[in-house]
């Protein structure tokens, strides 16, 4: 049976001498039973600390951790029935693969005949066979990763916590293991919190994403929602990429508003939370692939191509707009990517429907 | 932050030896030939050649005496006992400092207490134990056990354990500190209790470190000369003191050499075991990123309480012993007339002044020459294609591995007669200190060069710097921490050494440690205590000065080191 996880006002302050640092700042989160939630954020945002508090490796300065309706804040890690996957796997170097996987079973006093069966079974599940006698340093990175997964899956934990489990694997293996982890998690039905700094990983694996910045929750939502409707400049730029322009609110209407932008008026949607006030400065976020290039005289703004990089599926342009700021534009292969060499005068146009107004 | 950051380090990449370094290499080989190989050759000749033919007669003669046979057995028993107790205590201290959550101040205090025996003259614990538990002993009077006899196995064992357990502490603190805390967290998250985690993860991972500490202590105790001389008495003879007494008491150089040779076999065996067996079996690898915040994990309440109780008692005992030394240096006649006086210090700075001056001069000279030798050898063997490289490294560490008594006797044999006569000079003592104690500097240099990617030097060359500029601007600054560590070690041991140097002192050149020994044998304990206090103060001052010079010369490197 999977269990739900709730964090209530979770706060962690690290202090060293007179300096103190709020690594986790009043985090609230509810994870449904069986759900896979990704905590996403740049390094130092408090995501690993949050995970270690849920595991019981750290105790919070303030706030509660509730697993399956039960407050476990004061319980030790070994009483919480969790499985933790470490970034460096933390395989016991003095035990072979069998010893590593059997560890949790021995702690639970499972009879040794049954242990043997379960170890073989779980190795089969993660796609490793006949490596029981080998030691961790005799395995490749991918194999170590699978042993780490097997070691946790074999005790069938109700909560699965993963701290950047794929960070040490190469790109191709990472994509494969991502799918594997998702398959195994669903198969076991465990509730899973997965910490990563890689937005692509988060978008691919998560049922829901929580974006963390400087110890606080920036935004929560399903992956597409976060990509399509970021609520802050930070989220807009961290998930995908975004051009941020400055604009001023001129007219506020019903569910939409007019924003002035270098002599143009754009009518943009208001966020669900409500509109801005008249006269307020706002950030206008536009994805690079929503910006259209064209002839200067037919466009909103004119500019000069500073550089272009062909990355295979698209051309990435860097353009200096005439008012004096940089614009990133991605031209897909279907749209004449080679049309604008460096130094060319081009025009830039954005469709107001692709523009999001965000607080600066 | 590590001092250097690099991807793949290939420590085996070596550059061709440029001709400019050839004179240096010849000089090093020449001096090692004279001061390392030649004395040992003379010693072997003395032991194994009788009337121009190879013979085992000297060995047979030495061990036809039951007393010498007993000394061999006693030496081994003592070494095993000291290694066991010292390793045990060292582990307790190391575990409490690295794994149990204690206030910072207490950890600092424990670390400081543990360092004391390192910078003290070799007799300190013996003198303090005598003052506490010997005839007229303070503790004996307090506890009303007048008939108690501290001399013999018991006293030697306690004194050596106190002297050497810090070695185990440092070894094990490094090992425990390098164990990835994630491993313990992993065991806990799978449901293991703290005690189980300690038993199944922490302890097994420390076993190579424990073996290493055990062997280090075994070797130290086996070759310790000073402590048994004071504490062992006639009922508990050990080899190093027997060799010494044979030579100085009976003027039997041949017999003494033979006894010391027997000491050499187990000492070498222990060294080889440690170097080629234990060091290969280490689980501990320093991984790039460990746990986010390594919190103390401990071993469960009961176990921790027990450990803390033991180390508290031990710490108090050590503080008690050192206070006794300080107090003892300030009273008229210990146990008889306890009124305070400064006359013992007056004695140190009048009668003993020559020894103070000589010792400091010898220590400074040895430190300066020795650190240059150490960095040169370390650099040559790890970065240059030197002919006979392995041999050079082995020979440079040889005198360090061998028992001090053996080296001292070899020097006496070599430089009393024959082509090179140095007896009674300062240079013979300096030479011994340099070639016996440069080992720490060599090892530190080799170890830090292993961390410094040769591509740093290649980068400098490719930017147009000459080899000379590269060495002085890139390599040397990176080697400074190692050189400083080597210098500190050289100075401390040159000040506190006795087992080898005792054979080399003369009317012209005396040493503080030898003066302390003379005071102890004449039962002038107050004067001995005053000498010891002065010596400890000089050593601390010198360490301070060396660190300060380093900080002034390389402010950037030292700041980075402190940040670590």
**How many C-beta neighbours within 10 Å does residue B325 have?**
23
Over 80: is that where the pLDDT of B454 sits? Answer: no
Q: pLDDT digit string (tens) for B412-449?
A: 999 988 888 888 889 999 999 999 998 888 988 888 88
The verdict on residue B241 lying in a domain is yes
What is the reported pLDDT for B289? 37
Residues B40 and B75 in one domain: no
Average pLDDT over residues A68-84: 89
Among residues B510, B530, B550, the one where a domain terminates is: B510
Residues 288-317 of chain B with CB under 8 A from chain A are 288-293, 295
Over 50: is that where the pLDDT of B5 sits? Answer: no
**Record: contact A88-B287, CB cut-off 8 A:** yes
Question: Across the A/B interface, how many CB contacts are shorter than 8 Å?
Answer: 81
Average pLDDT over residues B316-333: 88
Q: Which of the listed ranges A272-276, B32-36, B224-228, B470-474 does the model predict with the highest average pLDDT?
A: B32-36
Contacts of B191 in chain A (CB under 8 A): 78-79, 81, 104, 107-108, 155
Over 90: is that where the pLDDT of B146 sits? Answer: no
Q: pLDDT digit string (tens) for B507-529?
A: 888 899 999 988 888 888 888 99
Q: How far apart are CA A344 and CA A295, in angstroms?
A: 10
Contact of B449 with B383, CB cutoff 8 Å: yes
Residues B255 and B365 in one domain: no
Over 60: is that where the pLDDT of B202 sits? Answer: yes
- Calculate ∠ Cα B261-B27-B456, nearest 5°: 105
Q: pLDDT digit string (tens) for A115-167?
A: 999 999 999 888 888 899 999 888 988 899 999 999 999 988 889 999 999 88
Q: What b/e string do you get for A305-329 counting C-beta neighbours within 10 Å, with b at 16 or more?
A: beebeeeeebbbbbbebeeeeebbb
Over 60: is that where the pLDDT of B390 sits? Answer: yes
Q: How far apart are CA B207 and CA B210, in angstroms?
A: 5
- Calculate ∠ Cα A213-A218-A223, nearest 5°: 110
What is the reported pLDDT for B288? 34
What is the reported pLDDT for B358? 93
What is the reported pLDDT for A64? 95
What is the reported pLDDT for A5? 95
Average pLDDT over residues A224-252: 89
Over 80: is that where the pLDDT of B154 sits? Answer: yes
Number of domains in chain B: 2
How far from A72 is each of A141, A143, A192, A332, B227, CA to CA, in Å?
34, 33, 17, 51, 56
Residues B123 and B164 in one domain: yes
Superfamily of chain region A5-233:
P-loop containing nucleotide triphosphate hydrolases (3.40.50.300)
Contacts of A151 in chain B (CB under 8 A): 186, 190
Average pLDDT over residues B215-229: 89
**Record: contact B205-A84, CB cut-off 8 A:** no
User: Quick one: how far is CA A247 from the chain centroid?
Assistant: 29
Among residues B263, B285, B307, the one where a domain terminates is: B285
| Ramachandran area for residue A145 (φ above 0: left; ψ -120 to 50: alpha; else beta) | alpha
Contact of B145 with B63, CB cutoff 8 Å: no
Find, among B126, B310, B303, the residue nearest to B203 by Cα.
B303
Where residue B83 falls among pLDDT bands split at 50, 70, 90? Answer: very high
Query: Residue B20, exposed/middle/buried by CB under 10 A (0-12, 13-18, 19+)?
Result: exposed
Residues B404 and B259 in one domain: no
What is the reported pLDDT for A95? 87
What is the reported pLDDT for B13? 63
Q: pLDDT digit string (tens) for B477-493?
A: 888 888 888 888 899 98
Global confidence as pTM: 0.81
Query: Residue B435, exposed/middle/buried by CB under 10 A (0-12, 13-18, 19+)?
Result: buried
Q: pLDDT digit string (tens) for B367-387?
A: 999 999 999 999 888 888 888
Find, among B284, B281, B243, B283, the residue nearest to B260 by Cα.
B243
- Tell me the Cα Rg of chain A: 25
Residues B38 and B98 in one domain: no
Residues 32-61 of chain A with CB under 8 A from chain B are 48-49, 52, 55-58
Over 50: is that where the pLDDT of B286 sits? Answer: no
Over 50: is that where the pLDDT of B9 sits? Answer: no
Contacts of A52 in chain B (CB under 8 A): 185, 292-293
Residues B153 and B272 in one domain: yes
**How many C-beta neighbours within 10 Å does residue A57 have?**
27
Among residues B461, B476, B510, the one where a domain terminates is: B510
Average pLDDT over residues B390-404: 87
Q: How far apart are CA B178 and CA B175, in angstroms?
A: 5
What is the reported pLDDT for A273? 63
CATH 3.40.190.80, domain A241-359, yes or no = no
Over 90: is that where the pLDDT of B160 sits? Answer: yes
Contact of A69 with A2, CB cutoff 8 Å: no
Paired strand residues for A192: A36, A160
Q: Which domain does B108 fall in, by range?
A: 70-285
Name residue, tokens 């038993």: B199
Residue A275: CA atoms inside 13 Å, Cβ hemisphere, count?
19
Dihedrals φ, ψ of B315, to 5°? -60, -45
Q: How far apart are CA B423 and CA A103, in angstroms?
A: 65
Contact of A305 with A339, CB cutoff 8 Å: no
What is the reported pLDDT for B279? 65
Domain with CATH 3.40.50.300 in chain A: 5-233
Average pLDDT over residues B92-113: 85
What is the reported pLDDT for B282? 62
Over 60: is that where the pLDDT of B294 sits? Answer: no
Q: How far apart are CA B349 and CA B537, in angstroms?
A: 14
Whichever domain contains B165, its CATH number is 1.10.3720.10
Find, among B21, B190, B118, B138, the residue nearest to A80 by Cα.
B190
Q: pLDDT digit string (tens) for A263-297?
A: 788 888 877 666 788 888 888 899 998 898 888 88
Find, among A154, A174, A156, the residue nearest to A164 by Cα.
A174
Q: How far apart are CA A233 and CA B242, in angstroms?
A: 82
Q: How far apart are CA B121 and CA B159, in angstroms?
A: 13
CB of A94 less than 8 A from some CB of B: yes
**Record: contact B291-A57, CB cut-off 8 A:** yes
Residues B34 and B81 in one domain: no
User: Quick one: how far is CA A210 from the chain centroid?
Assistant: 7
* Per-chain mean pLDDT for chain A: 89
Paired strand residues for A125: none
Helices assigned H by DSSP within B329-403: 343-350, 353-383, 389-401
Structure tokens at A139: 């395995």
Find, among B254, B107, B132, B228, the residue nearest to B517 by Cα.
B228
Where residue B157 falls among pLDDT bands split at 50, 70, 90? Answer: very high
Average pLDDT over residues B146-171: 88
The verdict on residue B334 lying in a domain is no
């Amino acid at each position: 049976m999977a269990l739900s996880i709730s964090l209530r006002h979770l706060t962690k302050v690290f202090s060293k001498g007179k300096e103190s640092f709020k690594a986790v700042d009043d985090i609230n989160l509810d994870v449904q039973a069986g759900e896979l939630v990704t905590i996403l954020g740049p390094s130092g945002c408090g995501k690993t600390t949050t995970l270690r508090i849920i595991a019981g490796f750290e105790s919070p300065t303030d706030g509660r951790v509730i697993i399956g309706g039960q407050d476990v804040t004061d319980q030790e890690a070994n009483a919480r029935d969790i499985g933790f996957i470490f970034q460096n796997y933390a395989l016991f170097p003095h035990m072979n693969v069998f010893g590593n996987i059997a560890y949790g079973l021995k702690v639970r006093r499972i009879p040794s005949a049954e242990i043997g069966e379960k170890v073989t079974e779980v190795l089969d599940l993660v796609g490793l066979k006949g490596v029981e006698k080998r030691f961790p340093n005799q395995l490749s990175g991918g194999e170590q990763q699978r042993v780490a997964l097997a070691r946790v899956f074999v005790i069938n934990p109700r909560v699965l916590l993963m701290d950047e489990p794929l960070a040490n694997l190469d790109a191709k293996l990472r994509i494969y293991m991502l799918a594997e982890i998702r398959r195994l998690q669903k198969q076991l039905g465990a509730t899973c919190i997965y910490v990563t700094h890689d937005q692509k990983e988060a978008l691919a694996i998560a049922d829901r994403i929580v974006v963390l910045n400087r110890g606080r929750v920036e935004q929560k939502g399903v992956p597409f929602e976060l990509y399509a409707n970021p609520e802050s400049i930070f989220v807009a730029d961290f998930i995908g990429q975004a051009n941020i322009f400055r604009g001023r609110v001129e007219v506020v209407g019903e569910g939409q508003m007019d924003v002035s932008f270098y002599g143009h008026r754009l009518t943009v949607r208001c966020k669900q939370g409500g509109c801005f006030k008249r006269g307020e400065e706002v950030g206008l976020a536009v994805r690079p692939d929503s910006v259209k290039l064209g002839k200067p005289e037919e466009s909103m703004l004119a500019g000069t191509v500073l550089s272009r990089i062909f990355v295979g599926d698209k051309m990435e342009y860097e353009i200096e707009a005439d008012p004096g700021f940089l614009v990133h534009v991605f031209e897909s292969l279907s749209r004449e990517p080679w049309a604008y060499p460096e130094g060319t005068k081009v025009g830039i146009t954005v469709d107001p429907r692709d523009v999001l107004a965000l607080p600066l | 932050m590590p001092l250097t950051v690099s991807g793949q380090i290939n420590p085996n990449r070596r550059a061709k030896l440029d001709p400019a370094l050839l004179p240096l290499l010849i000089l090093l080989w020449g001096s090692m030939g004279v001061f390392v190989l030649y004395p040992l050759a003379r010693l072997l000749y003395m032991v194994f050649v009788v009337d121009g033919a190879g013979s085992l007669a000297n060995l047979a003669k030495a061990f036809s005496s039951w007393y010498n046979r007993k000394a061999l057995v006693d030496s081994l028993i003592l070494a095993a006992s000291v290694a066991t107790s010292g390793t045990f205590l060292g582990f307790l201290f190391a575990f409490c400092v690295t794994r149990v959550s204690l206030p910072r101040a207490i950890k600092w205090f424990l670390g400081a207490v543990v360092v004391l025996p390192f910078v003290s003259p070799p007799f300190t614990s013996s003198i303090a134990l005598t003052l506490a538990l010997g005839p007229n002993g303070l503790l004996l009077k307090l506890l009303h056990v007048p008939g108690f006899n501290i001399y013999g196995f018991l006293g030697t064992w306690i004194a050596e354990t106190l002297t050497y357990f810090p070695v185990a502490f440092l070894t094990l603190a490094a090992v425990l500190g390098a164990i990835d805390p994630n491993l313990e967290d992993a065991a806990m998250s799978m449901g293991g209790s703290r005690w189980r985690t300690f038993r199944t993860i922490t302890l097994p991972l420390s076993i190579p470190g424990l073996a290493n500490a055990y062997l280090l202590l075994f070797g130290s105790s086996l070759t310790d000369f000073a402590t048994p001389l004071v504490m062992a008495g006639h009922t508990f003879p050990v080899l190093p003191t027997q060799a010494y007494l044979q030579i100085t008491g009976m003027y039997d150089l041949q017999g003494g050499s033979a006894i010391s040779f027997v000491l050499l076999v187990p000492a070498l065996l222990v060294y080889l075991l440690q170097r080629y067996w234990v060091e290969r079996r280490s689980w501990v690898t320093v991984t790039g990123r460990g746990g986010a915040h390594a919190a103390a994990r401990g071993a469960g309440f009961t176990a921790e309480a027990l450990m803390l109780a033991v180390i508290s008692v031990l710490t108090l005992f050590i503080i008690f012993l050192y206070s006794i030394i300080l107090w003892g240096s300030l009273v008229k006649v210990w146990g008889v007339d306890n009124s305070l006086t400064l006359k013992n210090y007056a004695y140190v700075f009048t009668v003993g002044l020559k020894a103070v001056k000589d010792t400091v001069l010898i220590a400074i000279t040895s430190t300066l020459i020795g650190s240059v030798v150490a960095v040169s050898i370390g650099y040559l063997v790890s970065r240059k294609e030197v002919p006979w490289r392995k041999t050079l490294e082995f020979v440079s560490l040889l005198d360090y591995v061998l028992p001090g008594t053996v080296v001292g006797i070899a020097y006496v044999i070599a430089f009393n007669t024959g082509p090179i006569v140095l007896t009674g000079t300062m240079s013979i003592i300096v030479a011994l200190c340099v070639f016996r104690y440069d080992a720490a500097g060599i090892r530190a240099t080799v170890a830090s060069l292993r961390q410094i990617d040769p591509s740093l030097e290649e980068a400098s060359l490719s930017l147009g710097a000459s080899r000379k500029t590269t060495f002085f601007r890139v390599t040397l600054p990176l080697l400074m921490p190692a050189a400083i560590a080597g210098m500190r070690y050289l100075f401390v041991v040159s000040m506190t050494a006795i087992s080898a140097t005792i054979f080399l002192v003369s009317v012209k050149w005396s040493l503080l440690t030898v003066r302390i020994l003379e005071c102890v044998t004449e039962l002038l304990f107050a004067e001995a205590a005053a000498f010891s206090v002065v010596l400890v103060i000089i050593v601390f001052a010198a360490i301070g000065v060396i660190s300060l010079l380093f900080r002034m010369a390389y402010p950037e490197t030292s700041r980075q080191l402190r940040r670590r």
